[in-house]
Amino acid sequence: IHAALALTIMLTASNFVPSSALSGPPTFSIIDRVRNDFLALSRRSTTRHILLPKSRDAALALKQKMRNRVVDDDKFVVDVFSSAATKFSLDTTTSGDGGLLGTMMPQGYCSVQEIDRACFEAPLGEIYGPIESDYGFHLVLVCERTNCPKLDGPNTRVARTENGRTVCDSPQDGSHKSVSDQLIEVSIFLVGFWIAVSFAGGILAEAVCSLTDKLGKLS
């Protein structure tokens, strides 16, 4: 319980400590480590890709064509990319769904290492690539990504404006919580968990003692 309470205090206090101070005393390096580990475990990326033959020129040509439609024709980048994936992608497992790979974790579900890295390196909402793998050349579009503030700033998704243009933003309905809020929720859960474990352990110990006393009297 004490350890969980200490963790809660550290995480809560870290919200009020200047970032410049976090790199100073050894105490704050622990807070940084907890934050970094939490970010690494909770990062997610919703990504689409297009697999093309082993021709860099063809991949670059398609990339430029899609960019022109987004920039010059004010088309929504996800619509443009999905349409191209359906028409041109050689990956038959994803082309029917507009190249959607799904929600990925770092070094997680994607068997192609180059795509796995791109899910957490490609700029949010930009057509990225071509990336070469054993299968050919890939173009990638990260549509949504959480807990990557160094890469995305406050933004977490690609959104469509009223006139159909593409912007990167963060949901305003409260569905996306800050890293600090998530850390506090986790630490509160840990405190509650260990309090419950301690309470249950006390009840069990009391029951064992009572049973031992009764057995002693019977003997």
Q: In the predicted model, what is the mean pLDDT of residues 116-129?
A: 93
Band (37; pLDDT cuts 50, 70, 90): low
Q: Looking at residue 190, what is its pLDDT?
A: 52
| Helices marked H in the chain | 2-14, 19-22, 26-42, 56-71, 77-88, 92-95, 113-118, 149-152, 179-218
Q: Looking at residue 38, what is its pLDDT?
A: 57
Q: Looking at residue 83, what is its pLDDT?
A: 97
Cα→Cα distances 86→48, 95, 146, 203, Å: 11, 5, 26, 61
Q: Which of left, alpha, beta for 152 (phi over 0: left; psi -120 to 50: alpha)?
A: alpha
Q: Looking at residue 179, what is its pLDDT?
A: 47
Tokens of 73: 């024709």
Residue 136, beta-bridge partner list:
133
Mean pLDDT of the chain: 77
Residue 9 scores a pLDDT above 50: no
Q: Is the peptide bond before 18 cis (omega within 30 degrees of 0)?
A: no
Say whether 37 sits in a helix, a strand or coil: helix
Amino acid at 14: S
Residue 52 scores a pLDDT above 50: yes
Read off the pLDDT of residues 78-113 as tens digits, 9 standing for 90 and up: 999 999 999 999 999 999 999 999 887 876 567 788
Residue 21 scores a pLDDT above 60: no
Tokens of 82: 């999905």
Q: Looking at residue 31, what is its pLDDT?
A: 61
Tokens of 139: 């173009």
Least confident of 8-22, 38-52, 131-145: 8-22
Read off the pLDDT of residues 126-181 as tens digits, 9 standing for 90 and up: 999 999 999 999 999 999 998 888 888 899 999 988 887 888 888 765 555 554 45
Residue 121 scores a pLDDT above 80: yes
Band (3; pLDDT cuts 50, 70, 90): very low
Say whether 155 sits in a helix, a strand or coil: coil
Instruction: Please state, for a pLDDT cut of 90, what percent of the chain lies above it.
Output: 41
Q: Helix axis angle, 26-42 relative to 2-14, nearest 10°?
A: 90
Cα→Cα distances 215→2, 203, 208, Å: 35, 18, 10
CB-based contact 159:169 (threshold 8 Å)? yes
Say whether 143 sits in a helix, a strand or coil: strand
Torsion of CA 84, 87, 88, 93, to 10 degrees: 100
